[in-house]
Amino acid sequence: MKWITHERIRVDRVSSAWLIKKFVDPEAEFLYAPGAQVMARAQAEDAIPFHVPEAELGQRADRTGFDAIVSKYALADSALQLLADIVRAADKKGDLPEAAGLMAIVHGFFLMHLPDAEVLGLEAPVFDALYHYCKQRVQAS
């Protein structure tokens, strides 16, 4: 299936793409477009839009697109819930200790001006590692 979001992915968009690929649609194909064009391109490409205000899987108030995906697809994994908290804190400037590190890493990739598909490929192992960290934290509590 095709999925589409705003180009120049950052914390919520890259984590959402990772989440989709890892837990929702292993065959996901990601498209990126300027923000104002995402919904039109989604319709033209028969793609599911995420992390745009008009999309079902968009941000709402204090919730991220990552939160919307976890909810919509009933991903009840406790480690994913903790990861959602970290992503939300990084995206919304929250105070979880892991959020500052995640934000710094993701922002560093953003500053490299790489194509979005390359950024996702490079950052996916970061989110894999963070997920394993969250699994350990959940198991220890």
In sequence order, which ranges of the chain are alpha helices (DSSP H)?
11-19, 38-45, 65-72, 78-91, 97-111, 116-140
3-state secondary structure of 4: strand
**The pair of three-digit structure tokens given for residue 4, joined into one six-digit string:** 């589409």
Domain range for 77: 2-140
The pLDDT of 1-30, averaged and rounded, is 96
Q: What is the pLDDT of residues 111-123, one digit of tens each?
A: 999 999 999 999 9
- pLDDT recorded at residue 10: 92
Cα 68 from Cα 60, distance rounded (Å): 8
Question: Residue 39's closest CA among 56, 25, 18?
Answer: 56
Q: How confident is the model at residue 31 (pLDDT cuts 50, 70, 90)?
A: very high
Give the number of domains in the chain.
1
- Joined together, the tokens standing for residue 55 give 């999309």
Give CA–CA dist 65/60, Å, rounded. 8
Question: pLDDT value at position 60?
Answer: 78
Q: How many CB atoms lie within 10 A of CB 70?
A: 23
What's the pLDDT score for residue 42? 96
For the cut 90, the answer to whether the pLDDT of residue 16 exceeds it is yes
pLDDT single digits (tens) 3-13: 999 999 999 99
pLDDT score recorded for residue 76: 93
The string of pLDDT tens digits covering residues 40-99 is 999 999 999 998 888 888 877 788 999 999 999 999 999 999 999 999 999 888 889 999
CA distances from 69 to 18, 60, 112, 115 (A): 11, 12, 27, 24
Reported as type and span, the H/E element at residue 44 is helix 38-45
Q: Look at the chain and count its residues.
A: 141
Residue 106, pLDDT score: 95
pLDDT at 94: 82
